[in-house]
Amino acid sequence: MVSRLLREHEFEPVGLLNVLITEDCNCRCDYCFIHGKRPRRMTEEILKATVDFALLKSRHLRKPEFVFFGGEPLMAFDLMQLAVDYGNWRAALMGKRISYSMTTNGTVFDEEKLEFCRRYGIRFLLSIDGDRETHNLHRKFADGRGTYDAVASKIPLMKSYQPWLGARVTPTPENMHKLYDNVRHLHDLGITQFIIGPATGLHYSDDDVAEFKRQFLMVGDYYIEQVKRKAPFRMTDFEPELDGKFGRFHGLWGCGAGRGRLSVSATGEIQPCAKIQGLNDLAGIPEYSLGNVLDGFTNLDARRRFIAFGYDERKPCHSCDLTDDCAGGCPAVNWEATGSIRLPDPCQCKITRALLEAKREIMGKLEAEGLLETRPTATQAA
């Protein structure tokens, strides 16, 4: 036991833990990376052990992050309440403070849940793709009905509790040509921050990729307009303090998966990230299972193998001029497409190139116009 704890210190402290408090969801979005949908949820024992695990493995960090995930996390609102009550109590005993957040489809929000989020500082990110036609194409209730009206109608209520409101927008080949219009539409509805990421696991033709780049550049120009106006509009892609992947990562993954960021399933199993956790009907990638919250890290070798993957092993990336910016792609997407975390998905390579080239162009415009220091802050976005 002592030997294992000593060996754990070769790794970064865990600063962020994605917690699947329930696998259940009232939606059946066809591009969702969580492949299994069933009513399984955490027991109170597993939940408390997860909180204890998060606090213990954060080591010297004073403010670890606890991200409620699913499924739809608000379908286990009672567990969320328990996690916050227990977590705040345990954190206080250790001289720490937990930062809470979640991603939600927004359909089950009501005043009780929103008041709870405001009272305990639980920041929420809304999954919404654009106008009614775009959103309802992929984001449906379990009975097949589109969810746009159920979400959009609650945005004014959400903003009354959280004036800053971020959206995760997921374009697909069918609606790529509407990305700019959809961002404008959502901004008009009151969305003030955007995280844009094309759906993975789909085929994108060269025309789709070219259209994505064109649309993203239009969105970038709109962002510049808002910066000039000092309007409440933020984009993760153009703001380093919001984007943990912004920069160059020679020899590393471009994200914290397996290092300072981990994921825990409803049964307490630990995997490198939530996207990996969602693979194989929520079994994750067995060879990278790291342990469970009751026993802790029981497979440090798996964690070591996962994070040791660096530039030298990314052989398909050696001739790519973007290798240090992309850092080999998402390991979960790679595994799903090629069967290996080390082999990038060629389709995602095209999308990533288009995105990075567009980002460079927009960042160049921001710099040329002297706007890099005048981009909105979090308080302005509210």
Which pLDDT tens digit goes with each residue over 80-97?
999 999 999 999 999 999
- Distance between CA atoms of residues 218 and 231, nearest Å: 17
- Distance between CA atoms of residues 231 and 144, nearest Å: 37
Which residue do the tokens 């979640």 mark? 102
Two tokens at 266?
């409803």
| Four-CA torsion 177, 179, 182, 184, nearest 10 degrees | -120
pLDDT at 380: 47
pLDDT bucket at 233, cuts 50 / 70 / 90? very high
Which pTM value belongs to this model?
0.91
Comparing CA positions, the residue from 36, 207, 34, 218 lying closest to residue 127 is: 34
Question: 206-229 and 346-368 are packed helices; what angle lies between their axes, rounded to 10 degrees?
Answer: 30
Q: Cβ contacts of residue 255 below 8 Å, gap of 6+?
A: 244, 245, 261, 273, 327, 330
Of 38 and 120, more confident: 120
Which amino acid makes up residue 362? I
pLDDT at 254: 57
pLDDT bucket at 248, cuts 50 / 70 / 90? very low
- Distance between CA atoms of residues 283 and 178, nearest Å: 35
- Distance between CA atoms of residues 129 and 175, nearest Å: 10
Share of the chain above pLDDT 70, in %: 90
Q: Is the pLDDT of residue 172 over 80?
A: yes
Q: pLDDT tens digits, residue range 328-364? A: 888 899 999 999 888 888 999 999 999 999 999 999 9
β-strands 291-292, 269-271: how paired? Answer: antiparallel
Domains of the chain with CATH codes: 1-244 (3.20.20.70)
328 upstream amide cis, omega within 30 of 0:
no
pLDDT at 309: 63
pLDDT at 36: 61
- Distance between CA atoms of residues 208 and 177, nearest Å: 8
Q: Is the pLDDT of residue 244 over 60?
A: no
- Distance between CA atoms of residues 205 and 214, nearest Å: 14
Q: Is the pLDDT of residue 3 over 60?
A: no
Mean pLDDT of 105-134: 98
Q: Is the pLDDT of residue 67 over 70?
A: yes
Share of the chain above pLDDT 90, in %: 71
Q: pLDDT tens digits, residue range 17-31? A: 999 999 999 999 999
Ramachandran region, residue 281 (left: φ > 0; alpha: ψ -120 to 50; beta: rest): left
Give how far the C-alpha of residue 352 lies from the chain's centroid of Cα atoms, to the nearest Å. 16
Helical spans, DSSP H, in the chain = 2-8, 44-57, 77-93, 111-119, 132-138, 148-152, 155-161, 179-189, 206-229, 274-277, 279-282, 300-308, 323-326, 331-338, 346-368, 378-381
DSSP reduced 3-state for 142: coil
pLDDT bucket at 246, cuts 50 / 70 / 90? very low
Instruction: Give the max Cα distance, the chain.
Output: 58
Across all residues in the chain, what is the average pLDDT?
89
pLDDT at 376: 62
Q: Is the pLDDT of residue 200 over 80?
A: yes
Q: Is the pLDDT of residue 167 over 70?
A: yes
DSSP reduced 3-state for 126: strand
Mean pLDDT of 156-176: 97
As a residue count, the chain comes to 382
Q: pLDDT tens digits, residue range 265-319? A: 999 999 999 999 988 888 889 999 999 999 999 999 999 888 876 656 677 788 8
Q: Is the pLDDT of residue 250 over 60?
A: no
CA-based end-to-end distance of the chain: 47
* pLDDT-wise least confident of 18-27, 35-44, 65-74: 35-44
